[in-house]
Structure 1
Amino acid sequence: MSLLEIKDLHVTYGSGASAVPAVRGVGLTVDAGSKLGIAGESGCGKSTLALALLRLLPASARLSGEILLDGEDVLTMKWGRLRAVRWAGASIVFQGAMHSLNAVHRIGEQIAEPLLVHGRGTPGAARRRAGELLEQVGLPAARAEAYPHELSGGQRQRVMIAMALACEPRLIVADEPTTALDVMIQAQILRLIEQLVASDDISLLMISHDLAVLADTCDRLAVMYAGRVVEEGPAREVYDAAAHPYGRALSAAFPRIGDATSRRAPRGLPGDPPDPSALPGGCAFHPRCPVALDSCAEDDQELRGAGTDRRAACVHVGAAVEA
C-alpha cells in the first residue's frame, strides 16, 4: 500500500519571465514500510522536493500536482490540518543540525516541543519522553540538559533524528542527514536510521548525492537531474548497472572496494548541472552526456520501461550502449 504518492509535481520559484522551475513533473511512490532514496548533484531539485512534501517552501514558490500522504493531498490541506500532519504524519531530518537546532534552548526542550504542540502529554511527560528518545538514538538521557553547541556534529544529528521520531510519524524525510560528518560517524548515523526505520515500521525518503550510501540504505532509488527523475528502480540494480548515462556517471564517481580500476581512476562528469533558469532544449542532460545523439538536443525524453520494475528517461533505453 502506498503511504506517499507524488503525482506530476511542479515547483517554480518566482513568476513570469523570471520564473525558475526547480522541480518539473516528478512522480514517485513510497510504500508503507519501504525506503526510497533520491540522488543527484546539487541543484537537481532534491531538497526542493523534500521541502515541498510538507509545504515548507518560501512564499515565492508555486506548486502544482498532487502530494498524497495517506490519501490526503498535502497541497490542498488547510493550515490546521497541515499543522497536525507535520511531525505526527511525516517529519524531516534536515541537513546541518547546528542550523536547525535553536542555540539558546536545551536539547530536551526542543525534542519535547513537538510533543507539546501536538498535545501528547503534560510538560513533565514530554520531558521524560525526550530522555527516552535520546536513549533510543544512542545518547544518555542526561544530555537533554545540554545546549546544541555542547554536542558534537554526530550527536546533534542524533538529536535531530530523536525530534523526527517524537510524534511517531509514519514517514521520515532525511535530507542529506550525514552532510559534513566524518565517515565513521556517517556510518553510525546511517545504521541508526536503518535500525529505527525497521524497528518502528517507518517509511523513509532519504536524499543524498552519494549513490553508494543510498544503495546500501534504501530499497529503491530515484535519480534526479535538472528537476526531473531520469531513472528509478531497485536501489542496488540502479547503482550497479544504471540505465541512464547520468546514473552511470554518478555511480562511477565513487571508487569501489576491490575494484583496482575505479580506485586508481575514478570517473566523473565534466561541467555542472544546468542553471534551472536557462535549461537547454531537448534532454537537459545532453550537453554533458557521453552518448548523446544529435536528436537529444531537440527531443526531450520521458521515463520508460528499462527492465523489471525500472524506468529511465533516455533515448538509449532498450539498446545496448556502453558509456
Structure 2
Amino acid sequence: MTVQTAQRLLEVKDLSVTYGSGTRAVPAVRGVDLSVAAGQKLGLAGESGCGKSTLALALLRLLPPSAHLSGEILLGGEDVLTMKWGRLRAVRWAGASIVFQGAMHSLNAVHRIGDQIAEPILLHHRTTQSEAKRRVRELLTHVGLPVARADAYPHELSGGQRQRVMIAMALACDPRLIVADEPTTALDVMIQAQILRLIEQLVAEQDISLVMISHDLAVLADTCDRLAVMYAGRIVEEGPARAVYGAASHPYGRALSAAFPRIGDSASRRAPRGLPGDPPDPSALPSGCTFHPRCPVAVEACAHEDQALVAAGEGHRAACVHVGAPVRTEKAL
C-alpha cells in the first residue's frame, strides 16, 4: 500500500496461517502483506473460505492452538506474534479491538450488557465501579441506545441493538484500531445501513483505524478508503476503494463487483452476473494462479505460474498476468 512507514498503525508482513501439521496441514492465509495508516479504513472482501476471518483473528492472536502463524503483525511497531502474554492482554481492547459477526453468540447470555461493557474498562483502565458505569452510559449514548438498556440481558435486545452493544464494547478502552468482521451479518437492510453509518461516524469522530470484512464489495467501497480482495488465502488486488470497485484489474475483483446489481442499471438488475464454481479447497489448491479454473480470461501460463501483486494504477496493485497487458475476452484453457 502507498502508506508512509511513519504513518502506519498496522503492518502485516508475509503473514501465513496454517491449520494442522504435517500431511494434514491446511493453508488458510498465504503470504499476506497489508498496511493500515492511522485513521484509515481498509475493507477486506472475498467469498466465504478465502481467509478473511482467519486473517482478522490473527491480528490479535485469537486463533486456536491448531493454527500455526509465521510472518509479522506490527501494531504500532510492536509484533503481535512475538508479544508476551501480559503485553498481548494489554494490547487487546486498548490497542485494538474486534467486533465479531453474530453478536448473540459473542455476548454472555447471563450477564447484563452494562456489566459486559464495563468489564474491559475495569480491567484495562483500573478505574472505579462508578467511573466505569459513567463510561458505559457514555458509550451507550454514542451508539444510539437508551442508557436504561444497560440493565438488559442480550436476549431482551433486537439484533441491531446487540450489534450496537458490540460496537460500544469495541470502543470501551479507546482503541487505535477496530476490526469489524462482517458486523451486519443476519441484519435486515435498514438496520445494516444504520450500523454501517454508525461505525463510519464513530471511526471518523474518534480518528480510529478500521479493518472491515464483508462479502459485499459495494458496502466496503461506500465505507472504506481502500479495498483488499482475498482469494484462496492471498491478496489478489488492493487499492483505492472506488478504483477497485469501479474498475477492478483482477478478474476476481471484477466478478465480485459485477455480482451486485447497480441502482439505475436495468441490465444488471435483470441479469446480475455471478461467478460460476466455488473457491478451491485450501487443502488441494490448484497449481499456478489459484483463480485460473474459474477465470474467464485465463491463458495457458495461468495454470503453471503464480502471479505477484504488480502496479495497476496509482496506489493500485493486482496479481494477474493481464495487468499492464491487453486482456483477452475468451478463455484460452
Q: C-alpha displacement at 1:132, in angstroms? A: 1.1
Structure 1 residue runs without a partner (length 5+): none
Matches within 5 A, 1:9-158: 9-158=15-164
Deviation beyond 6 Å, 4+ runs, structure 1: none
Matches within 5 A, 1:87-236: 87-236=93-242
* Map of 1:319 onto structure 2: 325
Matches within 5 A, 1:270-309: 270-309=276-315
> What SS does the corresponding residue of 2:93 show, helix, strand or coil?
coil
Q: C-alpha displacement at 1:131, in angstroms? A: 1.3
CA distance in 1, matches of 2:309, 2:25: 25
* Map of 1:246 onto structure 2: 252
CA distance in 1, matches of 2:174, 2:125: 13
CA distance in 2, matches of 1:312, 1:222: 10
CA distance in 1, matches of 2:125, 2:34: 32
Q: C-alpha displacement at 1:322, in angstroms? A: 6.2
CA distance in 2, matches of 1:260, 1:223: 27
Q: C-alpha displacement at 1:19, in angstroms? A: 0.1
Q: C-alpha displacement at 1:127, in angstroms? A: 1.6
Q: C-alpha displacement at 1:306, in angstroms? A: 0.6
Q: C-alpha displacement at 1:117, in angstroms? A: 1.1
Asked if the contact 1:243–1:306 (Cα under 8 Å) also holds between the matched residues in 2, the reply is yes
User: Alignment length, in residue pairs?
Assistant: 323
Asked if the contact 1:5–1:67 (Cα under 8 Å) also holds between the matched residues in 2, the reply is yes
CA distance in 2, matches of 1:241, 1:223: 13
Q: What is the identity, as a one-letter code, of the residue corresponding to 1:97?
A: A
> What SS does the corresponding residue of 2:23 show, helix, strand or coil?
helix
Cα RMSD over matched residues?
0.7
> What SS does the corresponding residue of 2:39 show, helix, strand or coil?
coil
Q: C-alpha displacement at 1:228, in angstroms? A: 0.1
* Map of 1:264 onto structure 2: 270
Asked if the contact 2:27–2:233 (Cα under 8 Å) also holds between the matched residues in 1, the reply is yes
CA distance in 2, matches of 1:243, 1:217: 20
* Map of 2:3 onto structure 1: none
Q: Deviations over 1:138-189 (max 9, x none)?
A: 0011100000000000000000000000000000000000011001000000
Q: C-alpha displacement at 1:119, in angstroms? A: 3.2
CA distance in 1, matches of 2:87, 2:129: 23
TM-score (norm 1): 0.99
Structure 2 residue runs without a partner (length 5+): 1-6
> What SS does the corresponding residue of 2:322 show, helix, strand or coil?
coil
Q: C-alpha displacement at 1:321, in angstroms? A: 2.0
Asked if the contact 1:120–1:126 (Cα under 8 Å) also holds between the matched residues in 2, the reply is no
Q: C-alpha displacement at 1:319, in angstroms? A: 2.1
TM-score (norm 2): 0.96
CA distance in 1, matches of 2:300, 2:155: 54
Asked if the contact 1:112–1:130 (Cα under 8 Å) also holds between the matched residues in 2, the reply is yes
CA distance in 2, matches of 1:25, 1:37: 18
Q: What is the identity, as a one-letter code, of the residue corresponding to 1:230?
A: V
CA distance in 2, matches of 1:301, 1:268: 24
Asked if the contact 2:46–2:214 (Cα under 8 Å) also holds between the matched residues in 1, the reply is yes
CA distance in 1, matches of 2:87, 2:316: 35
